[in-house]
Amino acid sequence: MTILNIGSRRDTTMAAPPPDWKVNARCRAEDVDAEDFFTTGKAGQKRAREACVQCPVIVECLRQTRAFDDGTYRWGIGGGLDGLQRRALELEEWLGNRPNLEMARLLVSPVWLGRLVRLRSSCGSLDGMVRALRGDGLMVDVVTVRVAVWWSGGQAPRVAWRGDTRSMRAVVGGELLEDVLRLRSRGARYADIAGWMGVPRDPGMRALKDVLAGLEAEEAS
């Protein structure tokens, strides 16, 4: 989201950014097209994310953008994340998983970005990336690494899902079930939970709904 469209509504979940942070925003540069932050085209979104990851105030922008997110308005890329990613981050925080955004910014700095991208390919999971980065001496957690992966253009799924109800049952029937039920109790929609899991929303939503309905039927019988 281009900074020019961000107002001053207060973020109640994070410290408010300093009032003059916008003057350093990368999206104000003449070589950045503001339309890229609102396009549905992959090329434009890629350019927007590249601008964000180079931005010195990406953390401040994410905090301010999230202050404007609500159930109906999550359009555009702001603070390096699209609307679905910002919603997934909100659900992470519902579960008590708050990212260290300064550490995430370090992970996408020129010093660490190459390492992060290589780990995206070699580790196969967020947990594996966390273990590797801790081995490098960085005190990171899953949600912090997840934000950094999103910033670097990666997908960062929470689970490995093969696309069918049976594999969804295997995923949800494990340690993830408690988190899913907690999110449902907070009013999260199936589509939102699928987005939090990092699986395709439409098929993921349907499979998740079928699995939970089956588990409820088993418990009632």
- Residues 32-62: tens digit of each pLDDT: 898 899 888 889 889 999 999 999 999 999 9
Confidence of residue 68 (pLDDT cuts 50, 70, 90): confident
The residue whose two tokens read 């449902």 is 184
What angle separates helix 190-197 from helix 176-185, to the nearest 10 degrees?
140
Rounded Cα distance between 98 and 87, Å, is 13
Please answer whether residues 189 and 146 qualify as being in contact, where contact means their C-beta atoms are separated by less than 8 angstroms: no
The vertex-97 CA angle with 64 and 181, nearest 5°, equals 115
Q: Which one-letter DSSP state was computed for residue 139? A: -
pTM for this predicted structure: 0.85
Number of Cα atoms under 13 Å in the Cβ half of residue 219: 7
pLDDT in tens, 107-151: 999 999 999 999 999 998 899 999 999 999 999 999 999 999 999
Domains of the chain, residue spans: 3-94, 101-151, 165-220
Alpha-carbon span 163 to 92, nearest angstrom: 23
